[in-house]
Structure 1
Amino acid sequence: MTIETIPTAPIDGQVPGTSGLRKTVSVFSAPGYLETYTQSILNAISPQGAVLVMGGDGRYFNRAAMASILRIAAANGVARVIVGQNGLLSTPAASHLIRKRGANGGLILSASHNPGGPKGDFGLKYNIANGGPAPEAVTDAIVARASQITHYTMTTEDAPDLSECRETQLGDMVIEVVDPVADYVALMEELFDFDSMRRMIADGFTLRFDAMHAVTGPYATEILERRLGAPAGSVINAIPSEDFGGGHPDPNPVWAKPLYDLMLRPDAPDFGAASDGDGDRNMILGRGIYVTPSDSLALLAANAHLVPGYRNGIAGVARSMPTSAASDRVAARLGVEAFQTPTGWKFFGNLLDAGRVTLCGEESAGTGSNHVREKDGLWAVLMWLNILAVRKCSVAELVRDHWAQYGRDYYSRHDFEGISTDAATRLMDRLVANLPALPGQQAGELTVTGAEDFCYTDPVDGSVSTGQGVILTFDGEARAMLRLSGTGTQGATLRVYLEQYAPPGSAHDQDTQTALSKVIRATHDLAQIEHFTGRHAPDVIT
């Protein structure tokens, strides 16, 4: 094996956000950019003799990027790389493979729900040995290495083709190409009662799953159609494409609108779902009803005992700070712990490893459990199907029964996209500076009862994360949370999360935006959103 050393230097902006480093394809594919960041990761993790898992969502530039990463890994003494066939591997499947094979970590090539194609986005993140995203200590080490880098090393030999499941060599490094679906499906069969779901479908239960031209297509086709017996065509947009069919692979009512519109029709299937670019997010619908991710987490927690893998109950529930408090109410009734963490799945890892929680969720359509250390879109779909098979009711009936018992948390997220970074920063800085004076202040029809710049102390290792977003609480059990997104690649995105609790016995059938109207006005007034952004209304409402 011949190794070449290529001079490089620190590159501005190589600082990962909440889920790895994401940039446009044009940035990532610039000469030396991917290579410099990959070398920085390896410099931070002691790669000599390591076993790594690698895979991605199939987006544009994945193949070329994997070829370069393999050449760098071989030159840096990595012993083995386990990679999905054709480079495909969903993020939850990668997490499972890291754990099952006892790998040192993994490299996941994805920008998740961001658009793909030559003019789209690309991403690279490192997952640690527990299968979860790198915690802040590891991320900080990568950033430190990136700030000091002087060169990267590569083999002169080209990386092998990844289209066949087999073992090959690149220098002294073994490259093992595996079926990306098989191990994940086997895990799902351990967790869920496939027989009860098969019977439900055989009895006439209908479903539609939109893979959004992304990585979950092969997984959903194998499980929902081949294993559970859903008719062919139940999984749509099932073939992964480099530009996600020209769409935006984000499973929400805006970007999965055809499915959303279908499910609101009187002749809709019984169940609808979608997943995103790398398979870690989900959208759940029933005939005539959309289930918010916050409600989905709460419902799964309340009914988890009906599913074989969780029959002994759950240890606790964790949610990200912007996620509604619906799951907290379930945890309280079950007598288990409830945690509020910063945004980013990495913050759930310690809680899961310590056995403090079993289920986790984020308002951004991420739900998961202790079966892996990533959120898992298809797992959430199977949880819902298994629960419906046992409860023998519709999605709408299940949701309304839950609201009757626990009350409803009306909830919505308002995104102000592509605003100037300077304006977004000034808005947040001003709001944070004013927090001490806000309690007791009148805002529209509401009174502020609390205001904080969210700071999280990890209950397992004691690590502290500051500046994680602003939480405003109001009388009448209303909340608003504001933070700047860490997943975009253009300008800044201000996310405003809005919540209004309606207890059992009150109206649960209002229009969501109407129910939230008072907290919307109060939040806009306090944050001066129009003044700083120039926007009268959000770009996206979910």
Structure 2
Amino acid sequence: MTTTIATKPIAGQKPGTSGLRKKTAQFMQPGYLENFVQSIWDGIGGVIGKTLVLGGDGRFFNDRAAQIILRMAAASGAAKVIVGQNALLSTPAASHLIRLRGADGGIIMSASHNPGGPDEDFGVKYNTANGGPAPESVTNRIFAATESITQYLTLEADDIDLSALGTHQLGAMAVEVVDPVTDYQALMETLFDFDAIRALIAGGFQLRFDAMHAVTGPYAVAILETTLGAAPGSVVNAVPLPDFGKGHPDPNPVWARDLMDTMFGTAAPDFGAASDGDGDRNMIVGRGVYVTPSDSLAVLAANAHLAPGYAGGLKGVARSMPTSCAVDLVAEAKGIKSYATPTGWKFFGNLLDAGLATLCGEESAGTGSDHVREKDGLWAVLLWLNILAARRQSVAEVMHDHWAEYGRVYYSRHDYEAIDSDIANTLIADLRGRLDTLPGTAAGALTVSKAADFAYDDPVDGSLTEKQGIEITFEGGARLVLRLSGTGTEGATLRVYLERLEVQRDQMDQDAQAALAPVVTAAEALAEIRTRTGRTAPDVMT
């Protein structure tokens, strides 16, 4: 029986670049999730007769939220919901399933790389029929619906057994429970030379993949161990847990410390990798060498033709503006177009749909291609393995050859987390107000050549997106970017991005932080981060 529940707007339900993220306890408050889900239905023009995809990363409340969303979809007239077994689907797998099945859209339950648990974070994101995150035109309608909602609909019914594969009925709606790995693995087999990777591993190549107790574990075990022949146990922390084993499922050198220690220790494997909460990010590590996400994107762009799915070459490449310019150097050498977009994977969607770009990436450890409309952590790992199998080189050798050909872009991101929002906003506003006066002025040992507030004119739909981060370049080519992140759930996160191109081969083996010291000094001189925030150092450096 369909029940109509009276409600009223709840403040603060504005979706960000990756949906709505809040503390789990907030999502669990009576009516909170329901209000937002009903606003999604209302914002997209209803779900009557539509087919949707549903899944999540297995974090705390994932299972209960799935049942609530299913009942609400049934009550509002959806024809069918395709849901991953036990409500699990990695974000790239969900994107693929939407596209493969011709679904009208989907809901992904995740807060990505944020911690999970009763006292941590939860999130809900709507993806459109192209498999990608909803564009601002859609999220604006969803937000407007949250501000005017008066009721939501739900179905009085028992829970669906989401552990049982097959089709179930929920009122008049079909609920198809599918294996979350099968269709995704089939897609990967069309893109990569599994035989070559299998032969590489059979020849003694050792790998370690840290799934961080997140959703990629079952995918990695099935593909890397069962199909490609990596030794049992090569995938560690493979079982998704509601609290990610009390860890922080963000694949970077800080939170994936065990992997870093292994890869820089004695008897290290040949290749190491990690993925995040919902499986869309990745970290690549070789024996004794960490590959920055910006460098990884550039290497993938330079070598993608070695994988069967990209043998015809790339149509173009795209990066988020804070991502280093390393991939631009590859694009220039290959004679293809490169694009710089605002942060947020949805900005790549138009480029991919229009056939203007094939590979995309963000400095925040997200890389992907036109095979889906999300970043894809395990895809990046498999492309790296395909490249290593084809080149018969170590990760370190691939990196040194790449730098010798294109130059090395030293790069780092410094995060100042959970700082007072007023202080962070004032810092950015004050710097923004001085941009016109900065060119020609000194900042430590560097001299500012250009200073601007990044704005993006979408070459496909003509939309303009402004105030996406402060971008300052210096004479000699160094670059500094400052922006506030929208992925946290408390306070503000100030992200400071630093880069410098080095073309002298005898200077390409420096420690990155040492090589970037002049840019760090310039950032402090321009933004007064320590003085304003009271922080003497970043919380995280990647």
User: TM-score range with shorter-chain normalisation?
Assistant: over 0.9
1:403–1:504 Cα contact (<8 Å) kept:
no
Identity fraction in percent: 66
CA distance in 1, matches of 2:238, 2:358: 30
CA distance in 1, matches of 2:226, 2:159: 34
Query: Corresponding residue for 2:37?
Result: 38
Query: Corresponding residue for 2:52?
Result: 52
Cα deviation 1:479-500 (Å, max 9, x = unaligned): 0111101100011000000001
CA distance in 1, matches of 2:134, 2:120: 24
1:289–1:396 Cα contact (<8 Å) kept:
yes
CA distance in 1, matches of 2:15, 2:42: 16
Cα deviation 1:192-226 (Å, max 9, x = unaligned): 00000011000000000000000000000000001
Query: Corresponding residue for 1:312?
Result: 312
Alignment RMSD: 0.7
The CA deviation at 1:60 is 0.2
The CA deviation at 1:427 is 0.5
CA distance in 2, matches of 1:7, 1:514: 59
Query: Corresponding residue for 1:112?
Result: 112
Query: Corresponding residue for 2:518?
Result: 518
CA distance in 2, matches of 1:157, 1:206: 49
Structure 2, unmatched stretches of 5+, are: none
- Following superposition, which runs of at least 4 residues in structure 1 exceed 4 angstroms of deviation? none
Query: Corresponding residue for 1:343?
Result: 343
- Paired residues for 1:140-159 under 5 Å: 140-159=140-159
1:266–1:287 Cα contact (<8 Å) kept:
no
Query: Corresponding residue for 1:361?
Result: 361
CA distance in 2, matches of 1:266, 1:182: 36
Cα deviation 1:424-454 (Å, max 9, x = unaligned): 1100111111111111111110000010100
CA distance in 2, matches of 1:155, 1:272: 46
Q: Name the SS of the counterpart of 2:42 in structure 1.
A: helix
Query: Corresponding residue for 1:182?
Result: 182
Query: Corresponding residue for 2:469?
Result: 469
**Matched AA of 2:43:** A
The CA deviation at 1:531 is 2.3
- Paired residues for 1:237-386 under 5 Å: 237-386=237-386
CA distance in 2, matches of 1:470, 1:511: 26
1:22–1:124 Cα contact (<8 Å) kept:
yes
CA distance in 1, matches of 2:426, 2:123: 28
The CA deviation at 1:159 is 3.2
Q: Name the SS of the counterpart of 1:68 in structure 2.
A: helix
Query: Corresponding residue for 2:27?
Result: 28
Cα deviation 1:76-107 (Å, max 9, x = unaligned): 11110000000000000000000000000000
Give the TM-score, by structure 1 length: 0.99
Query: Corresponding residue for 2:4?
Result: 5
CA distance in 2, matches of 1:508, 1:480: 20
Q: Name the SS of the counterpart of 2:434 in structure 1.
A: helix
CA distance in 2, matches of 1:485, 1:249: 17
CA distance in 1, matches of 2:112, 2:440: 41
Q: How many residues align?
A: 541
The CA deviation at 1:9 is 1.3
CA distance in 2, matches of 1:27, 1:453: 34
CA distance in 2, matches of 1:356, 1:143: 30
**Matched AA of 2:378:** L
The CA deviation at 1:477 is 1.0
**Matched AA of 2:32:** Y
CA distance in 1, matches of 2:461, 2:159: 40
The CA deviation at 1:504 is 4.8
**Matched AA of 1:39:** Q
1:67–1:158 Cα contact (<8 Å) kept:
no
Cα deviation 1:98-123 (Å, max 9, x = unaligned): 00000000000000100011111000
CA distance in 2, matches of 1:76, 1:457: 37
CA distance in 1, matches of 2:35, 2:532: 36
1:266–1:288 Cα contact (<8 Å) kept:
no
- Paired residues for 1:59-208 under 5 Å: 59-208=59-208
Query: Corresponding residue for 2:209?
Result: 209
CA distance in 1, matches of 2:504, 2:297: 19
Query: Corresponding residue for 1:405?
Result: 405
Q: Identify the range of structure 1 (153-162 vs 104-113) with the bigger mean alpha-carbon deviation.
A: 153-162
**Matched AA of 2:260:** Y
Query: Corresponding residue for 1:416?
Result: 416
**Matched AA of 2:92:** P
CA distance in 1, matches of 2:30, 2:67: 14
The CA deviation at 1:536 is 1.6
1:86–1:162 Cα contact (<8 Å) kept:
yes
Q: Identify the range of structure 1 (335-344 vs 152-161) with the bigger mean alpha-carbon deviation.
A: 152-161
Q: Name the SS of the counterpart of 2:272 in structure 1.
A: strand
The CA deviation at 1:415 is 0.4
**Matched AA of 2:319:** R
1:436 corresponds to 2:436: yes
CA distance in 2, matches of 1:504, 1:341: 29
CA distance in 2, matches of 1:295, 1:318: 14
CA distance in 2, matches of 1:238, 1:326: 32
CA distance in 2, matches of 1:242, 1:210: 17
CA distance in 2, matches of 1:212, 1:381: 15
Cα deviation 1:280-332 (Å, max 9, x = unaligned): 00000000000000000000000011100000000000000110000000000
Q: Name the SS of the counterpart of 1:520 in structure 2.
A: helix
Q: Name the SS of the counterpart of 2:226 in structure 1.
A: helix
**Matched AA of 1:30:** Q
Structure 1, unmatched stretches of 5+, are: none
1:52–1:80 Cα contact (<8 Å) kept:
yes
Query: Corresponding residue for 1:233?
Result: 233
Q: Name the SS of the counterpart of 1:480 in structure 2.
A: strand
Q: Name the SS of the counterpart of 1:231 in structure 2.
A: coil
Query: Corresponding residue for 1:15?
Result: 14
The CA deviation at 1:359 is 0.2
- Paired residues for 1:384-395 under 5 Å: 384-395=384-395
The CA deviation at 1:505 is 3.3
Q: Name the SS of the counterpart of 2:507 in structure 1.
A: coil
**Matched AA of 1:3:** T
